[in-house]
Chains A and B, each alone.
Chain A
Amino acid sequence: MTKVERRNLKYGLLFVAPWLVGLTVFNLYPIAASFYLSLCDYSVLQSAQFVGLANYVDLFTDEVFWIALKNTLYYAALALPLGAFIAFATAVLLNTGVRGMAFYRTIFFLPSLIPSVAAAILWLWVFNGEYGVLNYLLAHLGIQGPGWLSDPAWSKPALVLMSVWGVGHAVVIYLAGLQDVPQQLYEAAELDGAHWWQKLRHVTIPVMSPVILFNVIMGIIGALQTFTQPYIMMPGGQPARSAYFYTMYLYDNALPYLQMGYASAMAWIMFLIILTLTFGALRLSKRHVHYGV
């Protein structure tokens, strides 16, 4: 290394130092610590005591852990496809060149800007079984709406419904992707006599596939980590723990119950689940996602 190179390296490192220090202190260290703590009894104030895999073993026989995991997967399995479909369909409709597209785009994006706690409080009223606007509308259709938040059968669907309201983020990403689909492909398809469905199926979706994949992976991560809405709207995951999500049990163990080791073990299991699902999505995508047009 020449003197100049060495000096450049030094300055280079110095300039990225704030980021490097930040990453190490606030990300890498806590991640490593949480792995060690997941093998310990740790209640924050007393020193951690190593217990090996005991936390993981306990988790597998913990009924509440399984209930929380099941609720979370159930929610994700409903919210993810529904959200993806509605976001994509909305984007396609917005992309047909309707007048005032910018206006609609803003309207659809707006909910994603509302702080999630405020949105949760708002939806408490929408879902109110007696005075809620949702049941009011249903009543007009001659349907007596359920007690959305007081009936265990409806608490998760209510949250799914609410999540659909927040797809604006995905809509905007899809819309950006749609506007990048080369026009000449559509023109070629039209010359071949393709109608709208064929164009959608054979041009739009293949070209959009990387964008869809990105949104699906972000969706998986987001859905599995759902916390704020049920935490605010259904304290303790009630009724009958039907809305008790994985992250809520993790939080309860970490702070109210002061079992930081147990909570860390839960965090690592969630990490492995998300990792597996993401890998799965990437594997599946190999055959269906096309990069570069």
Chain B
Amino acid sequence: MRWLLCLLLCAAFVISGCASESKASSDGRVHISYWEKWTGFEGEAMRAVVDEFNRSQDKIFVHLLTVSQVDQKMLLATAGGNPPDVAGLWSFNTHVYADKGAIMPLDDFMKEAGIKREDYLPAYWNLSFYRGKTWALPTTPASVALHWNKDHFREVGLDPERPPRTIEELDAFAEKLTKRDENGKIIRMGFMPSEPGWWNWGWGYFFGGTLYDGKGRITANSPENIRAFRWVQSYAKKYNVKDLQVFQSGFGNFSSPQNAFLAGKVSMELQGVWMHNFIDKYAPHLNWGAAPFPHPADRPDLANSTPVDIDTLVIPTGAKHPREAFEFIKFVQSQRGMELLCLGQRKHTPLARVSPQFLQNHPHPYLKVFIDLAKSPNTFSTPKIGIWREYQDEMNNAFSNIWLCKMTPEEALGLVQARMQKKLDRELRQKRRRRL
């Protein structure tokens, strides 16, 4: 009989190890778990919000846990039936996870709490709105602008307070700002479409293109996109691919003083509202400015184009305390919570209403540029299709082939078009089968 006892003991250990810690709270509060991606000062900003929420009431206690690759881990935890109550994801996850049933629609909770779409800047709101429902609420937003190095402008005789307004001006400025040493080696580029390489998919939008028509058709090789990538390739041709490769291979990590823009190797660069934090940290003496990215001279209607993005809060399907989870989300969505968070991360807020103190206390010298960009009619974002991650990788690959002059824009984008249309057709077939 002793061995049976042994076995039972083992089983007991295993089971107690697996069981979710349903914290039978001795303090009478409901304890909820919240997984978030942020580390460093961005994580601290969110921690301050969580602490503030925990102090503000005595019913709910939020445990914030920093998790890397939080989107994948949340998905696996949800599949395993033991998800966190709240998770902080990216907006590109929203529609994919909604389609897979991994996250809950929030509309009923929102109605109860009196949260309306008018409370938000429309560009940011739209990112979470999918198939007629709201699947996530924003935390911090981002719009993107051209950053320029004023000292470089001064050095080559350009007005340091006057950034380029059209693509043609950008090209002319870039030529002036580019420097080579006595051996002809590039030591500074005025502008490089490959830096930082995060919006390789998006160049077409600055020229009036799109990647998806919203009705089942991929539009990767539209004339606007081809025009955009011809422009990308014009840099590779003008400054010589090989020279650019050697020059580029000397760039360090984004988050380091060797960052190409911070180290003064690139004079103008497309960057998000967060760039200010990195300038502050790694190159505090840099003399810089931020302005809307230029538009083609023949398309003034495309002025103030910007990709927009948000970080999101979601409630995974199967979360044990969805109601309490939403109480916390509601706190983050309040003007007080949101401004505490966004000031801590030194971004603007996704809310339509902003307090004067927020703007006054904000350390970002060009915050208004980013707020205005977010309000522009020409914001764009990644298409809401399940194959987006793959589509993005395809666009990166096409960019690489175009940038290295291994393919013409027509060839590279044609390949993307054929490949992704096939994948999209398959996705739509699968969705029909699952009646989505």
Contacts and interface: CB of A to CB of B under 8 A. Distances in A.
Interface in A43-59: 43-46, 49
- A interface secondary structure, majority: loop
Given A45-B102, A46-B434, A152-B404, A252 B393 contact: yes
Contacts of B415: 63
B3 A11 contact: yes
A129 B3 CA distance: 65
B9 interface: no
A130 B247 contact: yes
Best-surrounded residue of B386, B387, B397, B401 (most CB of chain A within 10 A):
B397
A255 interface: yes
Given A44-B75, A49-B433, A240-B404, A258 B100 contact: yes
A129 B249 contact: yes
Nearest to B429: A41
A239 B249 contact: no
Contacts of B387: 257
Interface string B412-436: 0001000100000000001001100
A256 interface: yes
A14 interface: yes
Interface residues of A, number: 33
Contacts of B434: 46
B336 interface: no
Contacts, number: 81
B397 A240 contact: yes
Given A44-B76, A252-B393, A14 B250 contact: no
A149 B249 contact: yes
A137 to B, nearest CB: 16
Contacts of A146: 245-246
A278 interface: no
Nearest to B73: A255
Interface string A247-282: 000001001111000000000000000000000000
Contacts of B101: 45-46
A152 B405 CA distance: 12
Contacts of B406: 152, 240
B-side interface size class: 20 to 34
B113 interface: no
Interface in B1-41: 3, 6-7
Nearest to B433: A49
A129 B6 CA distance: 62
Interface string A208-252: 000000000000000000000000000010111100000000001
Contact of A256 (B6, B389, B404): B389
B72 interface: yes
A239 B246 contact: no
B54 interface: no
Interface string B280-312: 000000000000000000000000000000000
A256 B389 CA distance: 7
A190 interface: no
B397 A238 contact: yes
A128 B250 CA distance: 6
Contact of B6 (A14, A46, A130, A132): A14
A238 B404 CA distance: 11
A152 B390 CA distance: 21
A163 interface: no
A236 B7 CA distance: 48
A233 to B, nearest CB: 12
Interface in A23-54: 41, 43-46, 49
A10 interface: yes
Contact of B249 (A14, A41, A43, A148): A148
B146 interface: no
B400 interface: yes
Nearest to B247: A130
B416 to A, nearest CB: 11
A239 B400 contact: yes
Contacts of A49: 433
Contacts of B79: 44-45
B78 interface: yes
B335 interface: no
B70 interface: no
Given A236-B397, A257-B387, A147 B75 contact: no
B246 to A, nearest CB: 5
A36 to B, nearest CB: 16
Contacts of A236: 393, 396-397
Contact of A147 (B72, B248, B390, B419): B248
A120 B78 CA distance: 32
A238 B396 contact: yes
Contacts of A41: 430
Contact of A240 (B78, B96, B401, B430): B401
A14 B245 contact: no
A131 interface: yes
Q: Which 7 A-B pairs have the closest CB atoms?
A: A129-B249, A130-B250, A147-B249, A147-B245, A150-B249, A45-B100, A150-B245
Interface of B: 3, 6-7, 72, 75-76, 78-79, 96, 100-102, 245-250, 386-387, 389-390, 393, 396-397, 400-401, 404, 406, 415, 419, 430, 433-434
Given A45-B101, A46-B434, A127-B249, 19 more contacts: A43-B100, A44-B100, A45-B78, A45-B100, A46-B101, A129-B245, A130-B249, A130-B250, A146-B245, A147-B249, A149-B249, A150-B246, A151-B245, A152-B404, A238-B396, A240-B401, A240-B406, A257-B390, A258-B75
